Amino acid sequence: MMVIAALLILGVLLFILGTIFYKGLPVLNLDMITKLPGGGFYLGKEGGVLNAIVGSFCIICGSVLISLFISVPLVMYINFYLPKKSRFSKAIRFSLDILFGVPSIVYGAFGFSLMIYLGIKASLLGGIIAVAMLIMPIMMRPFDEVAHLLSRDLPDALLSLGVTKYEMIKVILRQLRPGLITSVLLAVGRGIGDAATVLFTAGYTDNIPVAFSQPAASLPLSIFFQLGSPVEEVQNRGYASAIILTIIVLILSFVSRLISSKYSKNRI
């Protein structure tokens, strides 16, 4: 039974990868990643998806930064400042669990209505904020888990040296860095591949955004538009874009693991 389950998982993975590589690899070329979509790109003329690559990259970097600035202090606060049985930290964890389960289209719609209220058009900034809302609980929940599991010994050892709580948090963050990196990776993987959140908020464009107020393309939407084209070659380009997206996620994951292992040499 267990073997069958394992084979099934492996089979599904190979099937997905097989499909995108079988269809996408023949049309994947340097133009795809170095050129913007030219006129008639979606009808089979030449060009690439550089706009979407850059757009996705900007959106995910911005939103990861925003979520880090919110989730790291919050996780430190509920784990190391509030008492263990605090109702407030329970409430925060509970709301995170709910936010975790909210579908991404809801974040997109919420971001959209927020933007209408504030009078901003579909833009890079809008996309960043909506994706940040989407990935914040995804980043915070596992990070909270590792922080929660940290033994009381380390804070006690630090406090008994007479250091302030702020200094204590700095050392604890050092200890938790691998956990934090894993959480960020999970969030990036989810955020970069999500189409529904950016659909309303970031918009779509054939150009590279140069300001926060301009619309930004993203890979998932680019894939969506290409697959929706009646031209077979464009559809295959959609699969090629999927390969690019997969590879970006893989590279990000390898690089961060590399950084994490390099910096955590002195880890306990």
CA distance 233 to 240: 10
267 lies in the binding site for other proteins (CB under 8 A): yes
Alpha carbon 96 to chain centroid, angstroms: 17
Nearer to other proteins, 117 or 166 (CB): 166
Shortest distance in whole angstroms from residue 171 CB to other proteins: 6
Host H or E run for residue 35: none
Nearer to other proteins, 1 or 153 (CB): 153
Measured CA distances, 248 to 9, 33, 78, 111, 149 (Å): 22, 12, 33, 26, 31
Q: Please name which of 129, 70, 102, 206 lies closest in space to residue 120, comparing C-alpha atoms.
A: 129
Contact with other proteins (CB under 8 A) among 171, 195, 227, 249: 171
Nearer to other proteins, 74 or 171 (CB): 171
Nearer to other proteins, 84 or 101 (CB): 84
Shortest distance in whole angstroms from residue 182 CB to other proteins: 16
Sign of the C-alpha dihedral, residues 170, 176, 179, 182?
Answer: positive
- Binding to other proteins, residues 135-164 (CB under 8 A): 151, 153-164
Contact with other proteins (CB under 8 A) among 4, 5, 83, 210: 83
Host H or E run for residue 17: helix 2-24
Residue with tokens 């998806």: 49
Sign of the C-alpha dihedral, residues 32, 36, 42, 44?
Answer: negative
- Binding to other proteins, residues 84-143 (CB under 8 A): 84-85
Alpha carbon 153 to chain centroid, angstroms: 33
Shortest distance in whole angstroms from residue 262 CB to other proteins: 13
| Site size for other proteins (CB under 8 A) | 25
**Interface segment toward other proteins; rule CB under 8 A; list 83-91, 99-107, 137-145, 235-243:** 83-91
Binding stretches for other proteins (CB under 8 A): 83-85, 151, 153-164, 167, 171, 174-175, 264-268
